[in-house]
Amino acid sequence: MLTKNLFRKPANPLEWYDSIRGKKNTRPDIPEQMCVSCPKCKTILLTGDLSESAHVCPKCGYHFRINARQRIGLIADRDTFRERDAQMSSSNPIDFPNYEKKLWHARLQSGENEAVVCGTASVGGFPCCLFVMDSHFMMGSMGTVVGEKVTRIFEYALQKSLPVIGFTVSGGARMQEGTLSLMQMAKTSAAVRRHSDAGNLYVAVLTDPTTGGVTASFAMEADIILAEPGALIGFAGPRVIEQTMRKKLPPGFQRAEFLLEKGFLDDVVPRRGQREYLARLLSLHQRRA
């Protein structure tokens, strides 16, 4: 059960928990997750085919959201990923109501301890540090643990003179940790700056959606900023802007292609070429011996 359905978002977050507790699943056993419909071109796709195509629709190129482990599997060379700070998990630093319960649900739902997975790996044979955010954990929001883990991976990379590759996906700073979440923007930015000052490379890949406090900190501070096709990238979310402006936003607004046109991205890179693309960047930044 654990391995088979780890990457599926359960309809009932407690389903997994119930199953290991031996509670009987009362729903009829229909393999509803066998097929998905592409939200863009509406083609019905077999999930098996989809996972073979890196969760990109083979018809229209729509990039489905994937979790951190799937991402690492696509980017890191086989069996090279070594996770760091895997056990770190949030407490409730400002006693926000119901936050513990939310965290507990998020852990069950995502199978992760927090919204970012960090570690070392090699990509195309080049060693690097990797951080990968996960939208399945409270929409990738940044609280003190996400801030701490990202800061630590930059500090570690600085110490080892390693490049950092980061995949972002986030709804922004996590409001349940109040101003302490906000402070993580400053903390991570300072760590990025130190890593950068020592001449190390940082490449960020912005995935759907990257917004709020993550956009306004380490996502936009990389030497090279890339994005996946169609990714929503912005500071304010589209709904907030529509409310403020009291009008509909133009189509394509805040999408990766829009940001590329406005000059805020270095490139838009489809998922299926990313490993080679990143390996080439790492190779071009090898320091002379």
Partner 1 sequence: MEAYERLAAARAKGRPSGLCYIRNIFTDFVEMHGDRRFGDDGAIVAGIARLGDLPVTVVANEKGDSTKERIRRNFGSAHPEGYRKALRQMKLAEKFGRPVVCFVDTAGAFCGISAEERGEGEAIAENLMEMSALRTPILSVFVGEGGSGGALALAVADEVWMLENACYSVISPEGCASILWKDSSKVREASRCLKMTAEDLLRLRVVERVFPESGGFDQVYATLKTELYRALRQKIALDTNVLLQRRYDRFRRMGARPER
Q: Which residues of the shown chain bind partner 1 in the complex (CB under 8 A)?
A: 88, 93-94, 96-97, 143-145, 147-148, 151, 173-175, 177-187, 189-190, 192-194, 196-197, 212-213, 215-221, 233-236, 240-241, 244-245, 249-250, 253-254, 258, 262, 264
- Minimum distance from CB of 166 to partner 1 (Å)? 13
Q: Based on CB atoms, which residue is closest to partner 1, 109 or 217?
A: 217
Q: Tell which residue, 218, 223, 88, has the closest CA to residue 149.
A: 88
Residue with tokens 């109040």: 178
> Which of residues 70 and 181 has its CB atom nearest to partner 1 in the complex?
181
- Least Å distance between CB 73 and partner 1? 27
Q: In what order do the strands lie in the sheet with 164-170?
A: 82-84, 116-123, 126-133, 164-170, 202-210, 224-227, 267-268
Minimum CB separation of residue 50 from partner 1 in Å reads: 31
Q: How does DSSP classify residue 153?
A: H
Minimum CB distance to partner 1 smaller for 13 or for 237: 237
Of 121 and 222, the one with the shorter C-beta distance to partner 1 is 222
Identify which of residues 35 and 190 has a Cβ nearer to partner 1 in the complex: 190
**Strand intervals (E) in 150-233:** 164-170, 202-210, 224-227
Cβ-contact 106, 138 below 8 angstroms? yes
Residue number, 38 or 204, with CB nearest to partner 1: 204
Residue 114 CB, nearest approach to partner 1 (Å): 11
Contacts of 86 (CB under 8 A, 6+ apart): 113, 117
> Do 210 and 233 touch, CB atoms closer than 8 A?
yes
CA dihedral 220, 233, 229, 170 (to 10 degrees): 90
Tell me the closest approach of the beta carbon of residue 134 to partner 1, in angstroms.
19
Supply the minimum distance, in Å, between the C-beta of residue 90 and partner 1: 9
For residue 245, the SS3 value is helix
Q: State which amino acid sits at residue 245.
A: M
Decide: 233 and 206 in contact? Cβ < 8 Å.
yes
178-197 vs 144-159: helix crossing angle, rounded to 10: 10
| Tokens 């071109």 found at | 41
Cα-atom radius of gyration of the chain, to the nearest Å? Answer: 19
In angstroms, what is the minimal distance from the CB of 34 to partner 1? 34
CB nearer to partner 1: pick between 70 and 254: 254
Q: To the nearest whole angstrom, how small is the minimum distance from the Cβ of residue 242 to partner 1?
A: 10
Is 55 or 174 the residue whose CB approaches partner 1 more closely? 174
